[in-house]
Amino acid sequence: MPAMIEAHGLVKTFGDFRAVDGIDFRVEAGEFFGMLGPNGAGKTSTIRMISCVVPITAGALQVDGLDVRYEDRAIKARLGVVPQDDNLDQDLSVRKNLEVYARYYDVPKRLARERIDEGLELMQLQDRADERISALSGGMKRRLVVARALVNEPRLLILDEPTTGLDPQARHLVWRKLRLLRERGVTILLTTHYMDEAEHLCDRLIVMDHGRALDDGRPRTLIERYVGRDVLELHLNDEERARVRAYLDPRLGESARVEQIEDVTYVYGLGQEHAREVEELVGDHYRVIDRRANLEDVFLTLTGRALVE
């Protein structure tokens, strides 16, 4: 089966600045694919090229088998895009926003009305259909933008940081809706700088930084590859840190290692018995966190920096 998105050596420059610096990736039909990276990684620039809003500088990019350089209209007709910043029509009602949008896709009026009802219900906005945009909460606006992106029944739904700025409850509701859409067979591409979002939702993801792809794979695979299963996270003062390092360093062996990032010490791949020992050494269990490794640790390992500053 052809890929939904296929990028080879994809580049986007602004003047001399390389916002996307030669990335390769492939998204299969039906997949929930993530792009994980901090602000400025080049996620939005990549998405804007995929959705044929800006031209590619170099490389090759195909969406649903079509070349973005020549088939912009045909590609856009198959996409739904949820941009990073809400750009709803403030002066129009919830329903009117969707009606206006459906017209750009030439959806016949009656069919549009059906889909809009469906979309509003799916996003739990059916009671809000006649309200002004300004009367909606942040989470409702996001869900409305998702509903808007569905009016043309897209084969590929692209979401740029869909939950940035939302409170935890609103986030979880958005996540639930996205999982539902995946179950219905929509291919989803999502960008985020939240590692928990990427880990929760994505079948597969690409880790980006400074316009480059660091690696891609399943979240669990990446975690196992770079970090192992468990992490010991230590919040220590200088004296305690010296004590712990004196104990750990001779015992690290082949598979374990220590990273110091800002004031936090991360110990990867350490056996359980040593973890106990370290806890004893520090004495205060709240500052020794023995936890499962996550994508944040992958990013830390790959770049030496945190995802969200």
Ligand X SMILES: Nc1ncnc2c1ncn2[C@@H]1O[C@H](COP(=O)(O)OP(=O)(O)O)[C@@H](O)[C@H]1O
Residue 57 or 84: which CB sits closer to Mg ion? 84
What radius of gyration, in Å, describes the C-alpha atoms of the chain?
22
Cα 43 to chain centroid distance, Å, stands at 9
Site for another protein in 186-225 (CB under 8 A): 204, 214-218, 221, 225
Who's near 102: CB < 8 A, 6+ residues apart? Answer: 112, 115, 116, 151, 152
Pairing of strands 58-63, 156-160: unpaired
Among 213, 183, 188, which Cα is nearest to 202's? Answer: 188
Under the criterion CB under 6 A, does residue 162 sit at the interface with ligand X?
A: no
User: If contact means CB under 5 to 8 A according to the sort of partner, which of another protein, Mg ion, ligand X, none does residue 4 touch?
Assistant: none
Binding of another protein by 39 (CB under 8 A): no
Question: Binding residue for another protein (CB under 8 A) from 92, 275, 289, 306?
Answer: 92
Cα of first residue to Cα of last residue in the chain, in angstroms, is 40
Sole binder of ligand X in the list 23, 32, 33, 45 (CB under 6 A): 45
By rule CB under 8 A, what string of x and - marks binding of each residue 229-258 to another protein? ------------------------------
Report how far residue 267's alpha carbon sits from residue 276's, in angstroms, rounded to the nearest whole number.
13
Q: Which residue has the tokens 């009602």?
A: 93
Single residue of 39, 54, 165, 304 touching another protein by CB under 8 A:
54
Binder among 25, 43, 112, 189 for ligand X (CB under 6 A):
43
Q: Which of 2, 9, 39, 291 binds ligand X (CB under 6 A)?
A: 39
The strands making up 187-192's β-sheet, listed across from edge to edge, are 79-82, 156-160, 187-192, 32-36, 204-209, 212-217
Cα–Cα distances in Å, from 44 out to 3, 39, 245, 252? Answer: 21, 9, 41, 40
Task: Output the smallest distance, CB 264 to another protein, in A.
Answer: 26
Cβ closer to ligand X: 188 or 236?
188
* Residues contributing to the site for Mg ion (CB under 5 A): 43-44, 84
| Binding partner of residue 40 among another protein, Mg ion, ligand X, none, CB cut-off 5 to 8 Å per kind | ligand X
Identify the CA nearest to 66 among candidates 22, 6, 9, 149. 6
Nearest to 211 by CA among 9, 40, 36, 33: 40
Piece of 92-100, 169-177, 250-258, 289-297 that binds another protein (CB under 8 A): 92-100
CB of 88 vs another protein, minimal distance in Å: 8
Which of Mg ion, another protein, ligand X, none sits in contact with 276, Cβ below 5 to 8 A by type? none
- The residues of the shown chain that bind ligand X, judged by CB under 6 A, are 14, 17, 19, 37, 39-45
